[in-house]
Amino acid sequence: MSGKNAIGGDRKFWGVLPVMDAASLTGIAQQAEGAGYEGLFAIQVYGPPFIPLAVAAAATSTLKIASGIAIAAARSPFETAMAAIDLDRISGGRFTLGLGSSVSAWTSGVFGAPEYKPVTHMRDTVNAVRHIVKGAHQGLEPYDGAYYKADYKALKRTEAPVREEIPIWVAALREKLTRLGAEIGDGVIGHPMWSVEWTTDEMHPAILNSLQSAGRARSDIEVNIWPWVAINDDEVEAINDGRATVAFYASMSQYQSFFAAHGFEKEAQNCQTCLAEDGHSDNATDKVPDEMVKAFVATGSRDKVLEKIEPMWAVADSMCPTPPLWSMSPEKVGFYVGGIGALIAEELS
């Protein structure tokens, strides 16, 4: 897989920082920095992603940190902007704000956010965060967006940020948010469910077309792709280990059109039925055939995995290879994390 990225530069790799005790977080961050990783993401499942990133920032000096992703609707854009300013200060200008829209089952059903239009809400959030980051230390003019409105009458001027423009990457599954990220973002984060064909044949043209329409160059953004990777010489085991992750996403009704575009609409509907009947997707794994797993997860030997994800480098500036996580023991997750780490170490050597 040695070679150049989509813009002819060196290939860059990111990792994922889990929530662990402080000593473990420190060790992971320092190890990633020493190994030559570009940066580490922290994800939002329940809690905000900013907390482990602060630990990583304090333990390193050159490693970049990013939310991957922060759910935009889970908090006010003002709080998101303030968290970005704080992390950029702690890290000395190494923070990137990755924002995602998630699905209504989470934003409304778990976080209790009102219903919203994802693209409009994301545009509003990005604009509001930039407004706040750039102006909070100078005195903010009122903001009147589609969803976020604030007069800032009670706001005292804050300390000047390390950077008045903190990079914002927009996470996307489908074309509309991908186009939005290319239009207004500093980067696009490809959803881990992006298949190779979806990446190269659907999202890549959308990115290029959106950049052209916005009068931007390809070098104006970073495209970071998160392929599911299960390196295991026992490919049958790797496929079985990836099945629950695919079932989890297939059980969400908002993903149905995405799976239909890949030829797996019936299988996704079966997974949704399991979720409706059982309240979780754990029993949907037998509704996910091997070919469906292999469409979205790179499985098998190191060489086979590398061959599978190689075409994505025609689109990506950087990658964050990620093991399928659902319904796996910590030991098995550790096994796949170790394989990914060894692969990246070899690529960076």
pLDDT per residue over 148-187, tens digit each? 999 999 999 999 999 999 999 999 999 999 999 999 999 9
What values do phi and psi take at 112, rounded to 5? 80, 20
Q: Which pLDDT band holds residue 1 (cuts at 50, 70, 90)? A: very low
Q: Which pLDDT band holds residue 106 (cuts at 50, 70, 90)? A: confident
Of 339, 337, 311, residue with least CA distance to 204: 311
* Tens of pLDDT, residues 247-273: 999 999 989 999 999 999 999 999 999
Q: Are strands 64-67 and 70-71 parallel, antiparallel or unpaired?
A: unpaired
Residue 307: is its pLDDT beyond 50?
yes
Residue 279 has a pLDDT of: 67
Cα–Cα dist 150/153, whole Å: 9
Q: Is residue 289 in some structural domain?
A: yes
Q: Is residue 116 in some structural domain?
A: no
**What mean pLDDT do residues 190-198 have?**
97
Percent of the chain's residues with pLDDT above 70: 98
CB neighbours (10 Å) of residue 139? Answer: 11
C-alpha pair distances (Å), 37 with each of 15, 196, 302, 342, 345: 7, 23, 19, 12, 9
Token couple for 204? 């890549």
Cα–Cα dist 247/273, whole Å: 11
Q: Is residue 286 in some structural domain?
A: yes
Q: Which pLDDT band holds residue 327 (cuts at 50, 70, 90)? A: confident
Residue 277 has a pLDDT of: 72
Domain that residue 322 falls in? 230-327
Cα–Cα dist 37/96, whole Å: 15
Cα–Cα dist 337/16, whole Å: 10
DSSP state of 9: S
Of 312, 287, 309, 299, residue with least CA distance to 339: 299
Residue 217: is its pLDDT beyond 70?
yes
Tell me whether the omega of the peptide bond preceding residue 69 falls within 30 degrees of 0, making it cis: yes
Residue 280 has a pLDDT of: 66
Q: Is residue 148 in some structural domain?
A: no
Q: Is residue 217 in some structural domain?
A: no
- Torsional sign, CA 324, 172, 30, 346: positive
* Tens of pLDDT, residues 107-162: 888 889 999 999 999 999 999 999 999 999 999 999 999 999 999 999 999 999 99
Cα–Cα dist 21/223, whole Å: 31
* Average pLDDT of every residue of the chain: 95
Return the exposure string of 44-74: e unless at least 16 CB atoms fall within 10 Å of the residue's CB, then b: beeebbbebbbbbbebbeebbbbbbbbbbbb
Q: Which pLDDT band holds residue 105 (cuts at 50, 70, 90)? A: confident
Coil, helix or strand at residue 82: helix
Q: Is residue 73 in some structural domain?
A: no
Q: Is residue 80 in some structural domain?
A: no
pTM value is 0.95
Report H helices in 36-174.
50-59, 77-91, 104-107, 118-135
* Tens of pLDDT, residues 8-67: 999 999 999 999 999 999 999 999 999 999 999 999 988 999 999 999 999 999 999 999
Q: Is residue 235 in some structural domain?
A: yes
Cα–Cα dist 336/233, whole Å: 11
Domain count, the chain: 1
Cα–Cα dist 120/123, whole Å: 5
Residue 84: is its pLDDT beyond 90?
yes
Residue 281 has a pLDDT of: 67
Q: Which pLDDT band holds residue 210 (cuts at 50, 70, 90)? A: very high
Coil, helix or strand at residue 74: helix
C-alpha pair distances (Å), 263 with each of 190, 199, 227, 258: 20, 16, 19, 9
Q: Which pLDDT band holds residue 200 (cuts at 50, 70, 90)? A: very high
